Chains A and B, each alone.
Chain A
């Protein structure tokens, strides 16, 4: 199993203070695969992401990324290429230019200018629109463009596993389309993705499997291909 899966979560419980928000969940992502976590607010989707990144102290179980267990690791060690997160609401560094935001994402390659430039070039090849704005303040971009930069900042880390927390939040339909296309392109490059979303259509377009989370437990797991193209069944069942 370990050789085929980029992420294996085994009986993970995590939460804040003494309370668990996520109870004993297990899931996996095959190398180059993508899964989505769906579920209502408060179900614990973001908590799973925060637990993987080590941003929650209170966590038990196993989180293996490419065979390495992250459960006892500090966030700064996890960020050394194991996993990287696009946080909800983008959270760009407001005072910095687009390029500085991106370069900060490649922090772990500091000293290796060649690698950073290479990653930057990869990103701009994928999002040529953003290259025009590289010296603009990050906050002067539109919401959709800022989301691209946030994804770019995560890509600059060159992680084994990419985590995205509701990237469609607050975006107009056109921007959502661009963002979804970008995620599909990342998959074509062989990237592994864990996506947290409210929008079932985006999950269907990007991922090959979907987990439904409710009250901190996984209540269903589906292969996207079996869901048709609108996921109506899933919505009616759990989310409607």
Chain B
């Protein structure tokens, strides 16, 4: 266990946000879910007791009938926001005094730093380069991420869950978000920052980042495993496998969103365009962990090889 190495990585001013991320993101996820579950219990209660539902005028816990139905923004909301603003300001001031942004040595065109890392918020993208070819990881995927985030309001056919935390009523959306943000995005940033060392090699926390380290790892393409040699055959085979995956994944997603009667109701509200858009983004998103597994566990570099792009 190389504690010195561990400390060097954790204490680098650039990496401090990532270390905070490690604790803060799970905490707030848990905190939000706790509230959501509490609300879900209330919803259950109200659904079971129509009399109570009639008089009940708050969607959140705790609740007493004599409490006012609505409160003013000023002062009841703003004072909390004000307090939060003060706390954040104090944290930022102390942070900026104690940790300086590192200005490194002058760039040397004949010498590339190793590991050479992007700013922390781009490290998820950089990590993606390990699994996809640069065109996919650098251009297509980021565009899809932005596009996907933009279409969310337009494909969301679920009218419930506005203005209060709930899990039960938005299970599908919340799980998709948790999967996409925490599992994929945040963890890839954490991997890129804390795990990837010299040569972009995988170093478990506490391992020495040794520049002399050598690992034996031969990557192969999926068609190679099946002994396919010619370029055209590789393209066709890859296309076939990818299509197969898309179909399978599409079916899986469809199964998922039509599992419960509530979900089926939502599904019924969706137009064809909404449904297809959602399917495209879901299939693409799920492709990422699939590819990560293929790469890390089976050392498969590409599945589909064409002269123009590789997947």
Q: Do A and B bind each other?
A: no
